[in-house]
Structure 1
């Protein structure tokens, strides 16, 4: 008689236990995903109702007319003269060539290093942040997120913080201690704060005067942006008149931008609460800007308004001047390549990963200061004091800025744009100082 000897990992009881464990692990993951979806959009039950995943949202190459400059061949002075001082958008190439993020920021590395870390994927009805672990988010992007109209995406200003929750104490099994212990120790060796060292602010945007107010005072200003096809932000204007830069490391983004002064009722018409996502805007609002609705003009509505379209590619950094309303959507696979990809087995990189920051520079300080003085008077007062204090010690650098702020002392307040409060980038500061900060700005124009 021949006896077959089964190894421990081949024993049917052990295999069944492992199968149950894997199944329960997947169930827990999907339960947390459903919970996050319910919190972020409590009134939405059918996330695939409009079948947006079956549409092609790619931009035609002839529509992208935004100028492009080479970061390595264009000086900071030239950038300021040609674009920032004129409040004109531009796409910058080769600004990220030397970043570690070029090779480190991908799904595999994020899962390996930060799989158990929490990242913000939205807010609930009470404006409380909603988080998902990176490993759960990546599972979602490869399952339900592929089919949903407007999937969840990471838009996190605190992406560098360690938010891991302490697990409930329990006695681990021998298998978990041996097999999973190494993974836990490996993840414990990495902190999201390392992400800040994977990129650097391009020299064009290094003069951020809001740094003078301190990290606790200034509003959120930098974000990790990560999501699959059709995720993105609805139409909005960045808060406090700040300008922004957005560096794309993976995937493609579609932008549509409108210059300051564009009527809000045209670019942001009344819509249902869940229709303010980027994909809904491109589906329901954007088509009218391609129409020639004026019989006396051969130009389309978008051309008359000064609308700009951009297809942002990996390695490109887009400069968004203050006051420009914009809507952004992450792109997936173009329909024209669908049949080819099915034949070749090529996997299209649907995931987009980017980093973006808002800033106040020597060039846009006047507009930012007026907006801040109205919306955040305490923050504006502190910025005023810091600049004047530095002007005493370094008049050649800060003297001109201090003089500009003095000239604005009697300029009427600039109210924020009507959609600024709903901007995906706007947020209040985490702390407030004493009421004396507002004393400098007490005037008939300020509503308390």
Structure 2
């Protein structure tokens, strides 16, 4: 079976330290464990009970938001500004696109208008449709990296076979960020759109080539997932699930890294993949939190677990720890972003983590968002941060890029004007031709209908005939 050969090779490259990917028989243990979660999941999108201990009664996390009744401005003011994790309903169905973007008023649940903005992914991203998609089934997608950081890819048709037939403890997981570079796979970009809640992305200023990876097409078998982490460069993220069910756990930013990672709670011989984290490590963390009675680093401990269902979009604010486990086979899309509401944290991370990009970004902010440019300089001054990378090269590069952009725009404008002139000339030529033809027809009609013209025409014919015969003709046609 070719799919097995390909996936076995990918597994060998991805985890050289593992010879038996099914050593723990988790494919047997997982099904009843996942079923117990789904059977007892009374998640009605109005209450998400937190786990752990906190000084004060915890607020509902994540918050429930319905795009049918919440405008983007309302969401940004109430949830994004306050860094409240949220589960948002009705985005793939198009309801976020018909809410007023610059109004404090709530949106409306207009089904007919929403239909126009519905994601094609709702029809195209189920497992059966993807298996029969001739444009995608032969496209290689990223499912991991080798020890040297090189990308491991596998064709979608082979991965789908693996998804349905594997018994691995922690299966391979498609997490592809370069699908837009493939002329066929790039069609995925047309199957969804960025929710209007998150359409402000300040990193777009530096261009697609310069910015760090920020969007991923996701496809994973049950038991696959991502270990607990914080998103890079202090960015926030949204994650929309099209097919299947995912289990999430969130930790507030103030929880120490060693606690969320379960340091000292992973025993010898145990793996630390997402499935192990949810089934083994996370229960130990919560148990230790209870035993600590709110003392020391566990004083304000809290963590939040919930299940994400098809059609739901999860918003993860910057700085929040999170891990995700696929309870069933899943397909989805996720993007990281920087907006004006998380700019301070993102700028602080970017100026030190992406020095060259930070200079270019600062240059672009000066032109497009002057207030954020001043804010970045203010943060540098407040933090006594000196941008050590010389700006001359970047500034010149930006200037050349802007100059090229202006030249390209001028070329496009000139080409547009030339085209307009060409069209105008054709129209004028056609009109003149029609006018000339119409005038000739009018003249002919006039000649036929006018008695004087008839007389002149007759005289002309008679004169010609007389000249030929050597005779003269009088005006009253009598021969002299």
- TM-score in same-fold range (> 0.5): yes
Contact 1:44 1:274 in 2 (8 A): no
What are the within-5 Å matches in structure 2 for residues 332-343 of structure 1?
332=328
Superposition deviation, residue 195 in structure 1: 0.8
Match of 1:142?
A: 164
SS of 1:83 mapped into structure 2? helix
Rg comparison, structure with higher value: 2
Contact 1:374 1:413 in 2 (8 A): no
1:329 aligns with 2:325: yes
Q: Can you give the 5+ residue segments of structure 1 that lack an aligned partner in the other structure?
A: 1-25, 163-189, 333-350, 391-397, 415-431, 440-448
CA shift in 2, pair 1:47/1:307, >3 Å = same
In 1: Cα distance, 2:129 partner to 2:292 partner: 56
Between the two proteins, the alignment pairs up a number of residues equal to 341
RCO higher in 1 or 2 (8 Å CA, sep ≥ 6)? 1
Aligned to 2:208, which of 215, 231, 252? 215
- TM-score when normalising by structure 1: 0.71
CA shift in 2, pair 1:214/1:269, >3 Å = same
In 2: Cα distance, 1:384 partner to 1:214 partner: 13
Superposition deviation, residue 297 in structure 1: 4.0
What are the within-5 Å matches in structure 2 for residues 42-441 of structure 1?
42-53=16-27, 54-55=29-30, 56-57=33-34, 58=37, 60-61=40-41, 64-65=48-49, 66-97=62-93, 98-112=118-132, 113=134, 114-144=136-166, 147-162=167-182, 191-270=184-263, 275-291=271-287, 293-294=289-290, 297=293, 304-332=300-328, 351-390=329-368, 398-412=369-383, 436-437=393-394
In 2: Cα distance, 1:61 partner to 1:360 partner: 33
Contact 1:213 1:386 in 2 (8 A): yes
Residues 385-432 of structure 1: per-residue CA shift (max 9 Å, x gap): 101012xxxxxxx24323321211223389xxxxxxxxxxxxxxxxx9
CA shift in 2, pair 1:302/1:149, >3 Å = farther
In 1: Cα distance, 2:249 partner to 2:384 partner: 29
In 2: Cα distance, 1:36 partner to 1:105 partner: 24
Superposition deviation, residue 436 in structure 1: 3.9
Superposition deviation, residue 294 in structure 1: 5.0
Contact 1:221 1:357 in 2 (8 A): yes
In 2: Cα distance, 1:157 partner to 1:39 partner: 19
Contact 1:289 1:302 in 2 (8 A): no
CA shift in 2, pair 1:389/1:305, >3 Å = same
SS of 2:381 mapped into structure 1? coil
Q: Which moved more, 1:40-49 or 1:120-129?
A: 40-49
How much is the aligned-residue C-alpha RMSD, in angstroms? 2.7
In 2: Cα distance, 1:229 partner to 1:387 partner: 43
Contact 1:232 1:278 in 2 (8 A): yes
Superposition deviation, residue 296 in structure 1: 7.8
In 1: Cα distance, 2:338 partner to 2:269 partner: 31
CA shift in 2, pair 1:51/1:413, >3 Å = farther
Superposition deviation, residue 225 in structure 1: 0.6
In 2: Cα distance, 1:109 partner to 1:95 partner: 21
CA shift in 2, pair 1:269/1:436, >3 Å = farther
Superposition deviation, residue 193 in structure 1: 1.2
In 2: Cα distance, 1:376 partner to 1:413 partner: 18
CA shift in 2, pair 1:110/1:413, >3 Å = farther
Superposition deviation, residue 92 in structure 1: 0.4
SS of 2:204 mapped into structure 1? helix
Q: Can you give the 5+ residue segments of structure 2 that lack an aligned partner in the other structure?
A: 50-61, 94-117, 397-480
> Higher helix proportion, which one?
2
